[in-house]
């Protein structure tokens, strides 16, 4: 039964059979589709699930606008994804017969992306806020959307489109969806502090885990992994076996990361936030705890035997010292420490750099020694071979195809590429390189501009300083490290900077209300 205004006139002639033919055609298509799905599962499961995902996207797009969007659910999923990304080994996944690996990204990332799409579809307020956050930093939306579009094109030009499609889908969940969710989540007062505290606590736990791993010579869970987790794969077995420095035999701590370099990068990216707690926290015990955390983190970085971690740690300290001195000079005219540090900084920096060449221990940590000559030469060989390939294919070779296009194997015979600048250019071409790194540089510039220009920032707005320093460290590390496990942190921090800049431009009242703390009059009434 259909109401009159929506009823169609009955078809006459051959048109009467169109509906029946379409229904019969759909039934026949579903029959063939189901047959080949059962025949090829799990080898072609990605291809057969794509139409279902497209139909799901179409259904989400067709949802009507509503006043209530699942934004709180999105926020919970965001923090759950954050915790899993920095605490769960990325090489361990649930492995069930006939199904693909269920990783933490798939377990939490897909519901997060689903909730994000629903919020975008049904909430005009959500769309307006995300758009306003992007517009608060000029050209950021252009570079981010341009990189997403280039990722889509990279699937079409790939010689293995299915492999590239899998890489792009994973990137859209752990990069793009995380960035836009962060732009919205960090509008709420208190979430920046919550994120930073979680990062600090997890860094302490991972550092302690690194100390334990160094003592026993392997990751603690090796040999104690349940059977339902994927441990039979060759790659997983290689990770669980650990790594040692070629030439010295030194064991290299890796904890939850697949390589010691990934652990060193994570701790280097965390260092600016620990420094910020140590220098700006209002409570003395917080400062003392942060000061006690730094030596433990540096010890773990040394245990990784990864120079990029040492470089990132020292770079964080040098940049934070300079920024702190500049702010002291600006805000406290009576202080002599600010002007003294700023004016003596060039000499101190040059002295430190000279020490890295003169002091043998420091030289080994920063520049390496004879044991690292193989990796140094390998990076030079990759650049010499990769740059001509980038120039010959300026459009790129396709997502996740850069390493194979380069064709470089390390001494162990493993296909590898160390320089992420080179990998992005090989994967996504010159335009993709500009879009990706351009967005990072825009964010770093905005963090420095608004972090230093604000005369009396709120406690959360001061986190623009460690955010800008951490992203600067990330930018430098990518010259020698190409793995992407910590890129989720990068896109979270980029979204956090954009949200904080929006709050500075428009006031914290323009952000999401803090539902845990009612307005002042209501709070007083509740007290009485």
Question: Same domain for 39 and 85?
Answer: no
The answer to whether residue 9 sits within a structural domain is no
* CB contact at 8 A, 472 and 316: no
The answer to whether residue 218 sits within a structural domain is yes
Summarised one tens digit per residue, pLDDT across range 182-202 is: 999 999 999 999 999 999 999
Question: Same domain for 31 and 139?
Answer: no
Q: Whole-model pTM? A: 0.87
Longest dimension (CA), the chain: 94
Question: Same domain for 406 and 303?
Answer: yes
Question: Same domain for 38 and 153?
Answer: no
Summarised one tens digit per residue, pLDDT across range 226-235 is: 777 766 667 7
Residue 65 DSSP class:
P
The pLDDT value given to residue 528: 32
Tokens of 95: 């492995």
Question: Same domain for 238 and 333?
Answer: yes
Cis peptide before 42 (omega within 30 of 0): yes
For helices 71-87 and 110-122, the axis angle rounded to 10 degrees is 150
Question: Same domain for 47 and 137?
Answer: no
The pLDDT value given to residue 342: 82
Residue 446 DSSP class:
H
The answer to whether residue 10 sits within a structural domain is no
Question: Same domain for 31 and 175?
Answer: no
The pLDDT value given to residue 37: 82
Residue 138 burial by Cβ neighbours in a 10 Å radius (0-12, 13-18, 19+):
exposed
Question: Same domain for 442 and 358?
Answer: yes
Name 445's Cβ contacts closer than 8 Å, sequence gap at least 6: none
Cα–Cα distance between 45 and 309 in angstroms, integer? 39
The answer to whether residue 62 sits within a structural domain is no
Question: Same domain for 388 and 488?
Answer: yes
With a cut of 50, list the residues of the chain below it in pLDDT: 516-528
Using CA atoms, how far residue 362 sits from 319, 355, 367, in Å, is 19, 7, 8
Name 354's Cβ contacts closer than 8 Å, sequence gap at least 6: none
The pLDDT value given to residue 520: 45
H-only helix segments in 217-336: 234-241, 260-280, 284-304, 307-331
Residue 29 burial by Cβ neighbours in a 10 Å radius (0-12, 13-18, 19+):
exposed
Question: Same domain for 30 and 87?
Answer: no
Helix (H) or strand (E) holding 208: helix 191-216
The pLDDT value given to residue 13: 67
The pLDDT value given to residue 6: 61
Question: Same domain for 234 and 85?
Answer: yes
Cα–Cα distance between 262 and 485 in angstroms, integer? 7
- ∠ CA 195-198-200, rounded to 5°: 110
Positive or negative CA dihedral for 5, 7, 8, 9?
A: negative
The answer to whether residue 528 sits within a structural domain is no
Question: Same domain for 496 and 419?
Answer: yes
Residues facing 279 on adjacent strands: none
The answer to whether residue 511 sits within a structural domain is no
The answer to whether residue 513 sits within a structural domain is no
Residue 169: Cβ within 10 Å count: 21
* CB contact at 8 A, 152 and 168: yes
Total count of domains within the chain: 2
Range of the domain at 31: 19-54
The answer to whether residue 96 sits within a structural domain is yes
């Amino acid at each position: 039964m259909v109401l009159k205004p929506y009823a169609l006139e009955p078809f006459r002639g051959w048109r009467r059979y169109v509906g029946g033919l379409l229904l019969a055609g759909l039934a026949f298509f579903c029959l063939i589709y189901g047959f080949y799905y059962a025949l090829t599962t799990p080898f072609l499961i990605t291809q057969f699930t794509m139409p279902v995902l497209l139909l799901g996207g179409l259904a989400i797009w067709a949802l009507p606008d509503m006043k209530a969007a699942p934004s709180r659910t999105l926020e919970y999923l965001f923090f759950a994804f954050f915790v899993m990304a920095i605490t769960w080994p990325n090489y361990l996944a649930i492995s069930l017969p006939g199904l693909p690996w269920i990783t933490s990204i798939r377990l939490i990332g897909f519901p997060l992306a689903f909730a994000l799409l629903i919020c975008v579809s049904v909430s005009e307020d959500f769309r307006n806020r995300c758009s306003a956050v992007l517009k608060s930093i000029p050209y950021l939306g252009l570079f981010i959307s341009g990189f997403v579009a280039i990722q889509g094109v990279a699937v079409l030009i790939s010689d293995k489109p299915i492999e590239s499609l899998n890489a792009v889908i994973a990137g859209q969940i752990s990069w793009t969806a995380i960035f836009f969710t962060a732009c919205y989540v960090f509008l709420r007062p208190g979430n920046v502090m919550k994120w930073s505290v979680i990062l600090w606590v997890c860094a302490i736990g991972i550092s302690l885990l690194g100390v334990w791993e160094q003592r026993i010579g392997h990751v603690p869970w090796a040999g104690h992994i349940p059977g339902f987790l994927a441990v039979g794969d060759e790659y997983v077995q290689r990770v669980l076996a650990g790594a040692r420095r070629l030439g010295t035999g030194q064991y290299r701590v890796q904890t939850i990361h697949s390589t010691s370099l990934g652990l060193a990068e994570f701790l280097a990216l965390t260092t600016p936030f620990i420094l910020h707690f140590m220098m700006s926290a209002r409570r003395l015990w917080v400062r003392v705890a942060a000061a006690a955390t730094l030596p433990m983190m540096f010890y773990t970085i040394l245990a990784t035997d990864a120079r990029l971690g040492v470089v990132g740690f020292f770079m964080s300290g040098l940049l934070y010292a300079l920024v702190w001195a500049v702010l002291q000079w600006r805000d406290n005219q009576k202080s002599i420490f600010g002007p003294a540090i700023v004016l003596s900084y060039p000499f101190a920096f040059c002295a430190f750099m000279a020490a890295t060449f003169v002091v043998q221990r420091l030289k080994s940590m920063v520049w390496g020694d004879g044991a690292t000559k193989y990796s140094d030469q390998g990076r030079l060989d990759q650049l010499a071979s990769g740059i001509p390939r980038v120039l010959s294919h300026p459009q790129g070779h396709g997502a996740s195809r850069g390493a194979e296009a380069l064709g470089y194997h390390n001494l162990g015979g493993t296909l590898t590429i160390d320089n992420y600048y080179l990998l992005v250019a090989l994967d996504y071409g010159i335009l993709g390189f500009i879009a990706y790194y351009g967005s990072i540089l825009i964010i770093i510039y905005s963090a420095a501009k608004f972090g230093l220009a604000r005369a009396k920032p709120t406690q959360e707005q001061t986190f623009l300083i460690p955010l800008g320093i951490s992203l600067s460290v990330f930018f430098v590390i990518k010259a020698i490290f190409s793995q992407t496990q910590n890129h989720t942190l990068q896109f979270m921090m980029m979204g956090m900077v954009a949200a904080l800049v929006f709050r500075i431009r428009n006031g914290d009242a323009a952000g999401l209300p803090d539902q845990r703390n009612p307005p002042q009059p209501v709070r007083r009434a509740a007290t009485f």
